[in-house]
Chain A
Amino acid sequence: MTNNQIMFFIFSAIIVVFSILTVTSRRILRAATFLLFVLVSTAGLYFMLRFNFLAAIQLTLYAGGIVVLIIFSILLTSQVGAKLELPGLTKKIFAFLAAAAGATLCIFTILQYKFPETSIISGRTNIDDIGKALVNTGKFGYALPFEVISILLLAAMIGSIIIAKKRKD
């Protein structure tokens, strides 16, 4: 049992357990907290895979941004202390069946397929390379998606402000 494997088991256990708790918890703030744990564990997985920059982004944006946003919206819209209603039994069964069927199908397919082994062993990802790739306009460059993403974010910002704005009536 290598260290990596132990780390992997811990992280994946946290992910699976806490995600189940997120979707079944009856108090909404606890669900948000469990989501936070899931996201942090995911960042842990990224760290394990030596994607440091990505892990940092995950922590900053997801854990620090989106979860905070979600908590703000919870506080704005619902009674925080109240217990959420349980969904009906038929709904749970149907949803469980759909999800289980999909999961079985995917896992079955994954286990059947032989993924090719690669002999290249790589180490940490270099932040230099990331930076160069991000503004590269040639092959393997991400300048265009970078610009498009910035426009998307601008649009999203403006959109949310307009939608959520208080109307003068």
Chain B
Amino acid sequence: MINFGYTVWIVLIPFFLFILIGFFGNKFKPIVSGIVGTSGLFASMVLSYYTAYQYFFVVPKLGDTFQKIIGYNTVWLNLTEKLHIDLGVLLDPISVMMLIVITTVSFMVHLYSIGYMQGEKGYMRFFSFLSLFSFSMLGLVIATNIFQMYIFWELVGVSSYLLIGFYYTKDTAVAASKKAFIVTRFADLGFLIGILILSFTTGTFDFITLTDPHGPAIMMGGGIVFLGLSTMTWSMIFVFMGGAGKSAMFPLHIWLPDAMEGPTPVSALIHAATMVVAGVYLVARMFPIFHFSAPVALDVVMYVGAFSSIFAAVIACTQFDIKRVLAYSTMSQIGMMMFALGVSGYGEEAGLGFMASMFHLFTHAFFKALLFLGAGAIIHAVHSNYMNEMGGLRKHLPITHITFLIACLSIAGIPPLAGFFSKDEILAASQGKSMFIFILGLIISALTAFYMFRLYFSIFWGKEQHYHHTPHEAPKVMTIPLMLLSLGAIFAGLLPFASFVTSDGKPMAMHIDPAVAIPAILVGVFGALTAMVFYRKETNIPEKISAALGGFYRAAFRKFYIDELYLFITKKIIFNHVSRPIAWFDRHIVDGSMNGISYVTNEVSTRIKRFQSGQLQQYAWVFVTGAVALALAFIYLWTN
């Protein structure tokens, strides 16, 4: 029996780094914090790879299933015999996979930031917050029970707030960080309600007990029915609300584009590869419950994911800020992961959607992080975020150009790059469930290819703009992560992923079905070629098409007015009709009763104090009357 106790250190090293750099970072030169942070993450990364090797290759399987192993566990809060909140490390295929993804991407981002953030005030603060985030995210994925996950979920939200608002002197950054925190916090309300309903119905927080297909939680099945849905369905819907907030699904997506106010490495780490996939991870973790006890909730997941995906893809086609395009692209890809989970069944071949979703999560981390870090290099070179101010950069930034191209090809689904394999599996799974979703998936793939190549061609081809100073390639410390990530974007698809990560732990075979693959490749190539025609050289085709689309184009450019709708709801409806009465109530009734109590006390005391008048005869009168009354009471009334 292998002792996995060392896995605790994967999580704790970043935590200690956070404290170390946070308190002592400014006593040394800035670069020291960068190197310390990066080395710590390198150590975590090595430990995660070792854990993965041990888990997948050395530990014997139960039958032919990968078993869930508790690496470390300690009871933190004992509520009752069966209900207790633990802190521990759970190892199972998806958590080990996430460990690899998080530590790898975090390490790349750390390395990149040593160069990117050079010269910034607050360099040490940045690295300590990065370590805090890594700690929170790692803690989230290895959680043994849902409450521990919730704790780290909130911590991730806090780290995101701190990092988005890193440039705290900029008003837009502060507003964006508040927006992110408030929206995700609101979603977490749903998550908490879901946790409470779930633990109340099943009596436990523990994941292993909850998700065991033959275990008590799932055998409970329907249970109490409320408004036509069982309690398990309600709890899963609420839990999904929390996941939807964190993963920027419609309508809780509004924070993600604004979150691009943070430094680009932050966008790469948090808003591309790790934090936003937390919602997908949550659904994957609770998947047996979704499948067996709450299939309605799983349909909700599917529709929300599909809608968010196409919604974001349409908006991404119209945006000019490169980070915004990437943000909407992320939302679209996560939507795909969500609906892949939604169409999935459980066990063996039926669980294809689950496997596809996790596979796409894995490959997406690589190419999306690569895209963001590349965008960071471009912004660093040109000092602007807007692609209509760029053009012809391929001559000036060769390495960035090549890696960016690799990432675009990968995300468009061109074989044999990684994105093709994972996207193909998603499309295969959705074809199995519903033709409508399959066609939708194809449309989304086409749009994805289109807007990514639109981005690519606008930046690196086209007419060269007049730049302030000649753009120069980024330093080695920034380009090496780009190159390493591009290796991942190329080769990650060739991994036999399905023999490691599946819905029930049993390995399955992964095959490419031409009926799915050919249409996928065709739409991807079609999208890329369209973009090439429009944007490779300066043309006016884009303007003509956007003029032709008229109102629809304007709406898409304005992100379909969702932000304005939210502002309207909060300002006109909630503030006026909910907040104002509550404030009135608080001021007049709650405060009023307190004031009233003191007022009454004052009045009573003013009346009563006349007893102490200083008049001797009054005292004597009271004495006499009292004596007479007492005598009356004792002689006549107290009949004992």
Residues of A within 8 A of B (CB): 91, 94-95, 98-99, 101-102, 105, 109
Given contacts A95-B617, A95-B621, A102-B624, 15 further A-B contacts (CB under 8 A): A91-B617, A94-B621, A98-B621, A98-B624, A98-B625, A98-B628, A99-B624, A101-B625, A101-B628, A102-B627, A102-B628, A105-B628, A105-B631, A105-B632, A109-B635
A95: chain B residues at CB < 8 Å are 617, 621
B607-635: which have CB < 8 Å to A? 617, 621, 624-625, 627-628, 631-632, 635
With both chains docked as a complex, state the minimum distance between the C-beta of A52 and any C-beta of chain B, in angstroms. Answer: 35
A91: chain B residues at CB < 8 Å are 617
Complexed CA–CA distance, A119 and B627 (Å): 35
Question: Count of A-B contacts with CB under 8 A?
Answer: 18
Complexed CA–CA distance, A105 and B633 (Å): 11
Secondary structure dominating the interface of A: helix
A98: chain B residues at CB < 8 Å are 621, 624-625, 628
Secondary structure dominating the interface of B: helix
Complexed CA–CA distance, A95 and B619 (Å): 12
B454-474: which have CB < 8 Å to A? none
15 pairs of residues in contact across A and B, judged by CB atoms under 8 Å: A91-B617, A94-B621, A95-B617, A95-B621, A98-B621, A98-B624, A98-B625, A98-B628, A101-B625, A101-B628, A102-B624, A102-B627, A102-B628, A105-B628, A109-B635
Complexed CA–CA distance, A105 and B617 (Å): 22
B632: chain A residues at CB < 8 Å are 105
B631: chain A residues at CB < 8 Å are 105
With both chains docked as a complex, state the minimum distance between the C-beta of A98 and any C-beta of chain B, in angstroms. Answer: 5
In the complex, which residue of chain B has the Cβ closest to the Cβ of A106? Answer: B631
How many B residues have CB within 8 A of the partner chain?
9
B627: chain A residues at CB < 8 Å are 102
A105: chain B residues at CB < 8 Å are 628, 631-632
Complexed CA–CA distance, A95 and B632 (Å): 18
With both chains docked as a complex, state the minimum distance between the C-beta of B600 and any C-beta of chain A, in angstroms. Answer: 28
B625: chain A residues at CB < 8 Å are 98, 101
Complexed CA–CA distance, A106 and B314 (Å): 103
A-B pairs, 4 with minimum CB distance:
A102-B628, A98-B624, A98-B625, A101-B628
Complexed CA–CA distance, A49 and B635 (Å): 31
With both chains docked as a complex, state the minimum distance between the C-beta of B236 and any C-beta of chain A, in angstroms. Answer: 78
Complexed CA–CA distance, A91 and B632 (Å): 23
B628: chain A residues at CB < 8 Å are 98, 101-102, 105
User: In the complex, which of the residues B617, B624, B628 has the most CB atoms of chain A within 10 Å of its own CB atom?
Assistant: B628
Complexed CA–CA distance, A91 and B621 (Å): 10
In the complex, which residue of chain A has the Cβ closest to the Cβ of B631? Answer: A105
In the complex, which residue of chain A has the Cβ closest to the Cβ of B617? Answer: A91
Complexed CA–CA distance, A98 and B554 (Å): 94
A94: chain B residues at CB < 8 Å are 621
Complexed CA–CA distance, A101 and B631 (Å): 11
Complexed CA–CA distance, A101 and B629 (Å): 9
With both chains docked as a complex, state the minimum distance between the C-beta of B616 and any C-beta of chain A, in angstroms. Answer: 12
With both chains docked as a complex, state the minimum distance between the C-beta of B66 and any C-beta of chain A, in angstroms. Answer: 96
A101: chain B residues at CB < 8 Å are 625, 628
With both chains docked as a complex, state the minimum distance between the C-beta of A105 and any C-beta of chain B, in angstroms. Answer: 6
In the complex, which residue of chain B has the Cβ closest to the Cβ of A100? Answer: B628
Complexed CA–CA distance, A105 and B624 (Å): 12
B624: chain A residues at CB < 8 Å are 98-99, 102
Complexed CA–CA distance, A101 and B636 (Å): 14
Complexed CA–CA distance, A21 and B632 (Å): 29
In the complex, which residue of chain B has the Cβ closest to the Cβ of A101? Answer: B628
A102: chain B residues at CB < 8 Å are 624, 627-628
Complexed CA–CA distance, A140 and B375 (Å): 119
With both chains docked as a complex, state the minimum distance between the C-beta of A66 and any C-beta of chain B, in angstroms. Answer: 21
With both chains docked as a complex, state the minimum distance between the C-beta of A107 and any C-beta of chain B, in angstroms. Answer: 13
With both chains docked as a complex, state the minimum distance between the C-beta of B13 and any C-beta of chain A, in angstroms. Answer: 87
With both chains docked as a complex, state the minimum distance between the C-beta of A37 and any C-beta of chain B, in angstroms. Answer: 25
A109: chain B residues at CB < 8 Å are 635
Complexed CA–CA distance, A91 and B624 (Å): 14
In the complex, which residue of chain A has the Cβ closest to the Cβ of B635? Answer: A109
A99: chain B residues at CB < 8 Å are 624
With both chains docked as a complex, state the minimum distance between the C-beta of B275 and any C-beta of chain A, in angstroms. Answer: 82
Complexed CA–CA distance, A143 and B632 (Å): 38
With both chains docked as a complex, state the minimum distance between the C-beta of B635 and any C-beta of chain A, in angstroms. Answer: 6
B635: chain A residues at CB < 8 Å are 109
In the complex, which residue of chain A has the Cβ closest to the Cβ of B615? Answer: A91
Complexed CA–CA distance, A94 and B635 (Å): 24
Complexed CA–CA distance, A38 and B621 (Å): 24
Complexed CA–CA distance, A101 and B632 (Å): 10
With both chains docked as a complex, state the minimum distance between the C-beta of B424 and any C-beta of chain A, in angstroms. Answer: 104
Complexed CA–CA distance, A105 and B626 (Å): 13
Complexed CA–CA distance, A41 and B628 (Å): 28
In the complex, which residue of chain A has the Cβ closest to the Cβ of B628? Answer: A102
Residues 513-546 of B, flagged 1 when their CB comes within 8 A of A and 0 if not, give 0000000000000000000000000000000000
Complexed CA–CA distance, A95 and B623 (Å): 12
B617: chain A residues at CB < 8 Å are 91, 95
Complexed CA–CA distance, A109 and B628 (Å): 12
In the complex, which residue of chain A has the Cβ closest to the Cβ of B632? Answer: A105
Complexed CA–CA distance, A94 and B628 (Å): 14
With both chains docked as a complex, state the minimum distance between the C-beta of A25 and any C-beta of chain B, in angstroms. Answer: 18
Complexed CA–CA distance, A33 and B175 (Å): 97
With both chains docked as a complex, state the minimum distance between the C-beta of A131 and any C-beta of chain B, in angstroms. Answer: 38
B621: chain A residues at CB < 8 Å are 94-95, 98
Complexed CA–CA distance, A99 and B624 (Å): 8
With both chains docked as a complex, state the minimum distance between the C-beta of A93 and any C-beta of chain B, in angstroms. Answer: 11
Complexed CA–CA distance, A99 and B628 (Å): 9
Complexed CA–CA distance, A95 and B628 (Å): 13
Complexed CA–CA distance, A157 and B627 (Å): 32
B429-473: which have CB < 8 Å to A? none
With both chains docked as a complex, state the minimum distance between the C-beta of A109 and any C-beta of chain B, in angstroms. Answer: 6
Complexed CA–CA distance, A90 and B84 (Å): 74
In the complex, which residue of chain A has the Cβ closest to the Cβ of B623? Answer: A98
Complexed CA–CA distance, A25 and B625 (Å): 25
B400-443: which have CB < 8 Å to A? none
Complexed CA–CA distance, A91 and B627 (Å): 19
In the complex, which residue of chain A has the Cβ closest to the Cβ of B629? Answer: A101
With both chains docked as a complex, state the minimum distance between the C-beta of B637 and any C-beta of chain A, in angstroms. Answer: 12
With both chains docked as a complex, state the minimum distance between the C-beta of A101 and any C-beta of chain B, in angstroms. Answer: 5
Residues 350-382 of B, flagged 1 when their CB comes within 8 A of A and 0 if not, give 000000000000000000000000000000000
Complexed CA–CA distance, A23 and B363 (Å): 112
Complexed CA–CA distance, A54 and B206 (Å): 99
B319-358: which have CB < 8 Å to A? none
With both chains docked as a complex, state the minimum distance between the C-beta of B632 and any C-beta of chain A, in angstroms. Answer: 6
In the complex, which residue of chain B has the Cβ closest to the Cβ of A95? Answer: B621
In the complex, which residue of chain B has the Cβ closest to the Cβ of A103? Answer: B628
In the complex, which residue of chain B has the Cβ closest to the Cβ of A94? Answer: B621
Complexed CA–CA distance, A2 and B625 (Å): 39
Complexed CA–CA distance, A98 and B625 (Å): 6
